[in-house]
Structure 1
Amino acid sequence: MSSASMHSEQSSVTVLGLGPMGRALAGAFLDAGLRTTVWNRTPGRDRELVGRGAVGARSAEEAVAASGLTVVCVVNYDAADAILRRDAVAGALKGRTVVNLTADTPNRARDAADWAAGHGIRYLDGAIMTPTTTIGTPAAVFLHCGPAELYREHRPVLDALGGTHTHLGEEIGRAAAYDIALLDIFWTAMAGYAHALAVARAEGVTARELAPFAKGIGAILPPLFEETAAEADDGSFSGEGNPLTSAVSSMAHIVHTSEAHGIDAGVMRAAEGMARRAIGRGHGADGFIRIAEVLGRG
């Protein structure tokens, strides 16, 4: 390949999937001056990007053939497979690189990597940990995994997406594992907040009145994450200051108050049940994070 061809390959990228996140990714590449080819299963979503200078491909195979690097961002791996595993697309991708930023499970990432290897396609997996509004800004956070040399090769193009890029290692399911664990924190926290708002409203407290104090509770969590991470890794699970026996008492108060107002307390009942299981196994004096070990036993 000539040096001019290599430069062209390194300054171009294809984006498959033009939902809100896919459009944000393509927009960041365009803003960085990269030749950006785009394609989406639903026609018309490329209109604004084409107006900004993107090349709208007529088919997925045409799109992937346009660049040495294809970034995929669709709703899940079923959607990604439906695009990539067509014979024409797989053939066009041979010898090229796919960076799959689609969210799904670690096992789906491993399966995709195995498929790619079997078709001569170079493959990196990844996860986007911040909203669309952060893409192209310093606030964006991306996680990547797969062959380190391949990641280094394409890092200059990926840097156009802004923010922080972290290579988590070569095990291809690792980015998805982080994604699942971190989204677990996010959605259980948001479920807890939604439940808290329902309880507060039932007691005559508005969401605006509660919000400043809710932020205070949120601020307590980061140092607790650090402290309890060490405990979880070394198995100490200190309950000094707030043992599980005390925790279940406060959980019970939440359940009783909720149900007195006819509010579903299923989430808190589940948390209380996990804590009581740990107490039943002799861990009443331990801290709350002991339940991580209990859950892991099944």
Structure 2
Amino acid sequence: MTPIAPIKLILDISTLSATTTREWLGFSRAGDCYLPHVVYEEIRFLYERSPDPDLERVAREFNRFYSHSGWHISEVTGHHPLLKAATTQSLTKRSRVALAVARCAYGEAQANPKQLIVLTTSDRSILQRVYDLQIPNLAGIQSAALLQWSRNGERPIAVSQKLQQLRDFDYAQTGILGQPYRPTSPTRTARTRTTAIPSRPTTLQHQQNTRIQNTRLSSRSGRTTHLNRGTKVTKYVAAVPPWVSQLMSILSAFAALAVAGLIIWVLFFTSYFDRFLPKDESAPVSMMPISTAEWDIDLYNGAIR
């Protein structure tokens, strides 16, 4: 959340004359109180010789109050065409002082862009000129509004609006999460507007971006992603180091050699298969020599037949 900008109050002599010393003490709860140098000089002048008893009372009370008030004197002055007096218009001394106070507030706003400068006066014409300036960190309120603000802590509407403008301006300058603000290039803006109008290209682009992200994620985590038509079927294959497959091949070769050697040894070097062969239990035929007489008889008998 963006913090609230510091508030600096620029007080006019009309504000002091319309309030009391006790109420002056409450002004510090609204912000840092500053008195333009022209107002300070006017109060000193009224303290020494004032034709108005009320102004003389204000000058005397302020003379006792200022030493322990914590208020400051501002000697800043800013110049703007709207804060110039018309050449054909004769101004009273109070009007000239009020116009000088407005220049002081404008100068403070230019010198402190991160602070909210609040001009407090009873002169409506000065408040209108300040409003016409349209400065983001410069606001003008009446003395009665400042008095109510210091009592109940409720900011005037003009002050709240300016604080919001300062937040928006600071947000636009710093960007999100405190990052520097970079304005979008015209080419990028035109491309964004073109793709935001039709819905179908945006959907296709979103699907393509999703597929690319899934592919990158699977490649980083050692998983393979297969994409088919219309549907996405994801198969996860655990990543196996190359040396594991090589080791398995070597072990398989050794196992095959061991089995082959065992079979050869059983066939040729053991009598394991003899128990399965049929045994010949018939008596062996004796080969007796036949005499010549018997051979002749047999031949004769055969010839007669």
Measured against the shorter chain, the TM-score band is under 0.3
- Normalized against structure 2, the TM-score is what? 0.22
Q: Relative CO higher for 1 or 2, CA cutoff 8 Å, sep ≥ 6?
A: 2
The structure whose Rg is larger is 2
